[in-house]
Structure 1
Amino acid sequence: MNTAAGSAACPTRRAVLAGAVGSAAAFLPAIARAAEPGGANPATTLPGAGAPFEANTLLDIARARAASAYVAPKTDDVPAVLKGLSRDAYEAIHPVPGRAVWAGRDFGYEIEPLLRGSIFDTPVSLFVVENGLVQPIPYDKDSLIAANIALPDLTADTAFSGFRLRARFGDGGAVSNFALFQGASFFRLVAEGQDFGINARALALRPADSRGEEFPLFRALIIEAPAPGQPIIVHALVESESAAAAFRLTLTPGKEASVAGIDGTVFARAELDHIGLGGMQGSYLFGALDRQKVDDLRAAAFSVEGLAIRNGSGEPIWRPVHNPEALQVSAFLDRGPKGFGLMQRARAYADFEDDRRHWEQRPSLWIEPQDDWSEGAVTLLEIPSDSELNENVFAYWRPKAKLAKGGEMRFVCRQHWSKGWPDPLPPDLARVTDSRAGRGSSGNRRLFAVDFEGDGLARPEEIEIALSASTGTITRQDRFHYPERRTLRVLFELDPGSERASELRLGLRRGQERASETWLYRWTP
């Protein structure tokens, strides 16, 4: 990661935004010009119909905008018929079959532009690039099916809030959901057959900072026509009061994991001392660690089970998330992280018993930096929530260095949106497969059970348990070996006394060697 040097303050919080799901408009052969306000400087203006598109086109526009006064998008012009739609009514709008962008072409992808409406009021200019030339995507209300809604006439530059991308995941067959770009700078991918879950964020600024979070917004999304069977490239222009940024995303659909290669450059309008890179967020309502106050027939409800980290020294960390009574902020200081991500390790229907949402079908998201991310912290925010729709778990990398006004910072990473556990572990290390908690022997004591699974646990007599609590007392510790499941369960009781929080740390060792990933958890009443 290339950046101007500096220092940073400690991490804080963020606001909760709803996830993005939407409807679609269709592509017609007509050409429309998508004018974007960018001030007097023509270098800040988005390309018009027939303009050439080159590798540095969006970079140059973002750089020029960062050097100019910020022009906020107009958001109060959404027609009332769309603005007043309920979420269900908005999501029910869908394209006429065969009218999506590239429908009937041999690209293996179809684009469904998403209307502005309901909670999505920010206009986003949409373009395709074919043969090196830009064409704005026009709006045609006759290409949409919207039951009991009289869709208004709109212009191409005010009609859309993002797009859904559908892909063919293998030879033959129909296209299905692959990617979604909508809301602030949020985007999602899935592997074949999955439901949308975790939201990624192209850029975060001051998440939950006492000064207030600043939400960079998609201003333009440009999709290159791919060769058949090849990845698809999406270019994104992102902007806010303090920064402008350009992103190049190379998206590859997969049966077990879809991959996004991300090359981003941030341009600072003002000094940036709290930047969030690789941001991702998901929902966690309750699970086996914290269901004592839950009256719900389901076994669990979450799209994110925990945060996985492979730090710069190679230590693998597993931090289950939870739904706290008060805001929780955790910072894992590091240098040169090898990867981190929000994981959905629970993969069976029985883990949730939810016949509507099927949380077991949501992806895990693992990020691998592809350049030097230097010093900083993987930061985890856990926000109290009373709804499974709130994306109340947020993780990101916070660089230690500030980015000075007028400075530029480039970063490169790879995202894995997976059905499995994409966070890699050496084969001799055991992985945490379950974490549970319940009432202890008396008072406010809590009993914990952590299951480790791996081939290296075949000889449990060689395994040592390393367990500690930052406050309170560990009053009990037992182990149970289940060879048929390759599992070692560690059972322990915490007596917190009068303390209101305790950082728990648990790992398995074989002599001086690590035998498992490290389990971390913050207990609070």
Structure 2
Amino acid sequence: MKFNLPNRLLSLVLLLSFSLSTHAEEGCFPHVKQVAEQLSSQPFSKTPMMKVDTGRITYDHYQHIKFKGNQTFWRDELLPFQLEFMHPGMHYIHPIELFAWENGTANPITFSKKYYDYSEVKGLNLEQDEANMGFTGFRILAKLGGKNSSYTEAVVFQGASYFRALGLDQKYGLSARGLAINTSLEGQEEFPDYTKFWLEKPTKDAEKLVFCALLDSPSTTGATRFVLTPGKTTEMEIETQLYPRKDITEIGIAPLTSMFFHGENSQQHYGDYRPEVHDSDGLMLQTGKDWTWQPLWEVPYFNFQSTPIQQLSGFGLMQRDRDFDHYQDLEAWYHARPSIWVEPLEDWGKGSVQLLRLHTESDIVDNIVAYWKSDAGQAFRHLHYRLSWLSDEPPAHTLGKVVATRVTNKAVDGLPGHKGRIRFIVDFSDLPKLAEPPTAELIFNGVGQTKPTVVQENPYVKGWRVIAAVYPETCDKPMTATIRLTNGGNSLSETWSYAIPESLCNAP
């Protein structure tokens, strides 16, 4: 026994060393999962507000608090990713905790006035509040144009579990969220918070940045691992493990939040000089080789739409229209705002894509929400997917695409037979060269009649225009019209799908 003891001790030491080494190599995720699981056994407690009068930091003040460019985190080490930290102010009153993760150790990143230039807000005397302040978010800077380009903002996290990202030459638009809870249940929605972040220190030649976050809400905790790959198209692989505190009625997976004020299909433009104002103009769905395009439209109050799907390949809120002339906004740059495409990285099974639309009379209010809802309900606790911030279409989408949707229920051309009619003018582009005009298949899911479609070549979009008319017999039941182009058998285009709003219906 005495002879074998040193060997056994050596084996134990080696085993422990290997275990610790493996844990360190796995990064922050195992640690954060442990923290989240332990926290789930405790009652929920909202992060306290900072003990400082942040209300005196108005919107104008906040814009004049500058992060010092020579203080970006990891700057001195010339790493491919750098960090800026968000100052408290306005409604950002709950601090988050930040840690730099290196060699299996979490090192706190603490608030300091050294990061900020207060020269334009001297009257607020913010320096005296340093001890009571904390960060409210952070930005990740990267070289979106490649190794020889300059550092620019790639991602920002601030507020609840919201975050936004940019690809090359894009401008901030729609947001993503870590999780949506009870979004479709009026008065019951929860907004989970990311309360802590661990950012793994990258190597000098790293092309990806890995970081983790702790999610917390009254109903659940969660651990999330992000893998950020910035570039022309910025991608983020996201893996979340949930630890529910109680039963959850609805879990919204990969939630996206956007704005649609008015567009080419709108009946009301609110006296706006801009032809279109939106961060996204359509919801796109992919199931295998089938693609569906649902144009967004404004609603008088509230609209909720659920699309059942057997096997989801992807979905996203897209900004397809890239023509500046269609927006005429030199400040908001709506034509340069990204789309976000969601791709499951595991089998999500049966479920539905949920689309929530709210009325707005302003372009500063987000009023569009889309997310995946699994039929497995709260048993769906492991979420793994990829987000892509695109300026173009997903590479897998090779069918023809809808580039414009126009709608009218008026007899503007004076022709007979218009009473009760809704007319759709839909332009398709990006189709293969055809010897003969395509066939337009129109399906009207509702109570009413249709007339044969008209297909016209449209050289201005290098594609085809479809004019379709439906005659609803009642306006109090759901109605949907779909159109796709075929060559008589095979699909040549995605399917255009329009849930007809009651406000558009004028049945006799």
TM-score when normalising by structure 1: 0.84
Cα separation, 1, equivalents of 2:306 and 2:440: 28
C-alpha displacement at 1:243, in angstroms? 0.2
Report the alpha carbon displacement of residue 352 of structure 1 after superposing the two structures with TM: 0.7
Whether 1:433 and 2:403 are equivalent positions in the alignment is yes
* Structure 2 partner of 1:58: 32
| C-alpha deviation, 1:425, in angstroms | 1.6
Call closer, same or farther: CA 1:443–1:167 in 2, change over 3 Å: same
Structure 2 equivalent of residue 86 of structure 1? 58
Which residues in structure 2 correspond to 1:303-342 (within 5 Å)?
303-311=279-287, 313-342=288-317
Correspondent of 1:222 among 191, 195, 198: 198
> Tell me, which stretches of 5 or more residues in structure 2 are unaligned?
1-25, 412-417, 504-508
CA distance in 2, matches of 1:296, 1:240: 39
Equivalents in 1 of 2:337, 2:200: separation in Å? 27
Match of 2:212 in 1: 235
In 2 relative to 1, CA 91–131 (structure 1 residues): closer, same or farther, beyond 3 Å? Answer: farther
Please report how far the alpha carbon of residue 379 of structure 1 lies from its aligned counterpart in structure 2 after TM superposition.
Answer: 0.5
TM-score scaled by structure 2?
0.86
Task: Check the 8 A contact 2:182/2:252 in 1, yes or no.
Answer: yes
C-alpha displacement of 1:513:
1.9
The aligned counterpart of 1:401 is: 376
* Partner in structure 1 of residue 7 of structure 2: none
Tell me the equivalent position of 1:412: 384
Which position in structure 1 is the counterpart of 2:143?
168
Q: CA deviation at 1:509?
A: 2.1
For the Cα contact (< 8 Å) 2:29–2:224, is it kept in 1?
A: no
CA distance 1:511–1:492, change in 2 (3 Å): closer
Report if aligned partners of 1:276, 1:398 keep a CA contact under 8 Å in 2. yes
| Map of 2:318 onto structure 1 | 343
In the other structure, the counterpart of 2:450 is 474
Separation in structure 1 between the aligned mates of residue 224 and residue 132 of structure 2, nearest angstrom = 20
Residue 242 of structure 1 deviates from its aligned partner by: 0.6
Flag the 1:479–1:156 CA change in 2: closer, same or farther, 3 A: farther
Q: 1:200 aligns with which of 171, 176, 181?
A: 176
Partner of 1:295: 271
Mean Cα deviation higher: 385-394 or 87-96: 87-96
Tell me what 1:43 maps to. Answer: none
Which structure has greater helix proportion? 2
Q: How many residues align?
A: 466
- 1:80-123, CA deviations, whole angstroms, 9 ceiling, x for partnerless residues? 2x223332321332112201211232212221111222111222
In structure 2, relative to structure 1, the CA distance for the partners of 1:293 and 1:455 (3 Å cut) is: closer
2:28–2:101 Cα contact (<8 Å) kept:
no
Corresponding residue of 1:262: 238
Compute the RMSD of aligned alpha carbons.
Answer: 2.3
Q: Deviations over 1:393-451 (max 9, x none)?
A: 110001112326xxx7212111111111226323xx21111111234325564332111
SS of the counterpart of 1:98? Answer: helix
CA distance in 2, matches of 1:345, 1:191: 15
Residue pair 1:457, 1:488 contacting (<8 A) in 2 also: no
> Could you report, residue by residue, the CA deviation over 1:216-239 in whole angstroms, capped at 9, with x for unpaired residues?
101101111112342001211010
Q: CA separation in 1, counterparts of 2:234 and 2:27?
A: 26
Distance 2:370 2:353 in 1: 7
Is 1:360 aligned with 2:335? yes
AA in 1 matched with 2:492:
A
Q: Which amino acid aligns with 1:452?
A: F
Q: Name the aligned partner's letter for residue 104 of structure 1.
A: D
Q: Quick one: which amino acid aligns to residue 486 of structure 1?
A: K
- Please state whether the residue corresponding to 2:432 is helix, strand or coil: helix
Deviations 1:222-280 (A, max 9, x none): 1111123420012110100110001100001112x000011111111111230001100
Q: Larger relative CO (CA 8 A, sep 6+): 1 or 2?
A: 1
Query: Equivalent residue for 2:360?
Result: 385
Letter in structure 2 aligned against 1:378: V
Cα pair 1:471 1:503 within 8 Å, conserved: no
Q: Identity of paired residues, percent?
A: 25
Residue of structure 2 equivalent to 1:145: 117
Give the gaps of 5 or more residues in structure 1: 1-51
Name the SS for the 2:381 alignment partner.
strand
Corresponding residue for 1:375? Answer: 350
Q: What amino acid maps onto 1:513 in structure 2?
A: N
AA aligned opposite 1:226: P
Partner of 1:70: 44
Runs of 4 or more above 4 Å deviation = 152-158
Assess if the C-alpha contact under 8 Å between 2:262 and 2:268 holds in 1: no
State which of 79, 85, 97 in structure 2 corresponds to 1:107. 79
Correspondence 1:250 to 2:223: no
> How big is the shift at 1:291?
4.1
Instruction: Please report how far the alpha carbon of residue 469 of structure 1 lies from its aligned counterpart in structure 2 after TM superposition.
Output: 4.4
- For 2:361, the aligned partner's letter is D
* Cα distance in structure 2, aligned partners of 1:83 and 1:422: 43
Larger radius of gyration: 2
Partner Cα distance (2:436, 2:170) in 1: 37
Aligned partner of 1:282 among 240, 258, 273: 258
Are residues 134 and 449 of structure 1, via their aligned partners in 2, closer, same or farther at CA, if it must alter by over 3 Å? same
Q: Which moved more, 1:380-389 or 1:455-464?
A: 455-464
